Amino acid sequence: MSGTPILDDHLHLDPDRGRGLEAVEEFANAGGTHLIVINRPSWGIVDAVDGGEDFRPVFERTLGVVESASDALPGRAWAMLGVHPACIGRLTDDGGYTPAEAGAIMREGLEVAAEYVERGEALGLKSGRPHWETTETIRDVSNGVMRHAFALGAALDCPVQLHTEDTEELEDVAEWAETAGLARERVVKHFARGRLSGPIPSVISRREELERAAERGAPFLMETDFLDDPDRPGAVLGPKTVPRRVAWLREEGYDEAIRTAHVETPRLVYGIDTEATL
């Protein structure tokens, strides 16, 4: 697969407690070329957040590991920065904040992340809403945080990656983005199935879902959601998975889908050129 860009669209790297650059090297040795690295949840890096500035060490740590990852790759890595939707539970359950107060803190965190995007240090923002059972109030506040991310994305003309519930239909979310002025093609659902109505699917790299995406013929991305968490080894997929699945797709005759996922869709969604950076 020499000369073929291979992008993992969503993974985490923990150089302090996890495998860090060792995982990047494993990805590269398997044929991987490009990474989009998502900052780990804030509670894995700082003790508590009480305002937007408390997220800054989380973002700075991510930018540092992204720079090191770029040095280790045939291509390069980019950062996506933001606030994990589970932060609202940490703030309300552990921090004693009301849902409304928690939402305000999370919006402030997104605004700090947006500063890095504006300076060209990060590619885009991450946000989302609970993908677990919760109260209507928490869900409403989380939707408000996500819509704030869309407004920031529209102002910066940058993509937004989402954590959401497991579904194949997110038309309402795509419409919220468009209402904010952000094209739905700039919105990505991470850990998606092979078919999704609304945002662009970042398909978890399991064969059955990739086959569905390839057969569909629409824009899609591939990811592992590698956690790099020593407390949860093997919780999702390992760093070699995307290159291995690309090899499998090629064996199955899905060359066009490979180009879609690793060249055309990254250009459409992120404005990046995985060929020129290889």
Q: How far is residue 267's CA from residue 2's CA, in Å, rounded to a whole number?
A: 20
What is the chain's alpha carbon radius of gyration, rounded to the nearest angstrom?
A: 18
As given in the structure block, the two tokens for residue 275 are 């060929």
Q: How far is residue 90's CA from residue 8's CA, in Å, rounded to a whole number?
A: 28
What is the tens place of the pLDDT at every residue in 45-87?
999 999 999 999 999 999 999 999 999 999 999 999 999 999 9
pLDDT, residue 235, reads: 86
Q: How far is residue 270's CA from residue 272's CA, in Å, rounded to a whole number?
A: 5
Where do the domains of the chain lie, and which CATH numbers do they carry?
7-270 (3.20.20.140)
Per-residue pLDDT of the chain (278 residues; tens, 9 = 90+): 568 999 999 999 999 999 999 999 999 999 999 999 999 999 989 999 999 999 999 999 999 999 999 999 999 999 999 999 999 999 999 999 999 999 999 999 999 999 999 999 999 999 999 998 999 999 999 999 999 999 999 999 999 999 999 999 999 999 999 999 999 999 999 999 999 999 999 999 999 999 999 999 999 999 999 999 999 988 899 999 999 999 999 999 999 999 999 999 999 999 999 999 99
Q: Which of 60, 61, 38, 46 is nearest to 91 (CA)?
A: 46
Strand blocks (E) in the chain = 7-11, 34-38, 77-82, 124-128, 160-163, 187-192, 200-204, 221-223
Global model pTM greater than 0.75: yes
pLDDT, residue 3, reads: 80
What is the tens place of the pLDDT at every residue in 229-245?
999 988 899 999 999 99
Handedness of CA 64, 76, 84, 124 (dihedral sign): positive
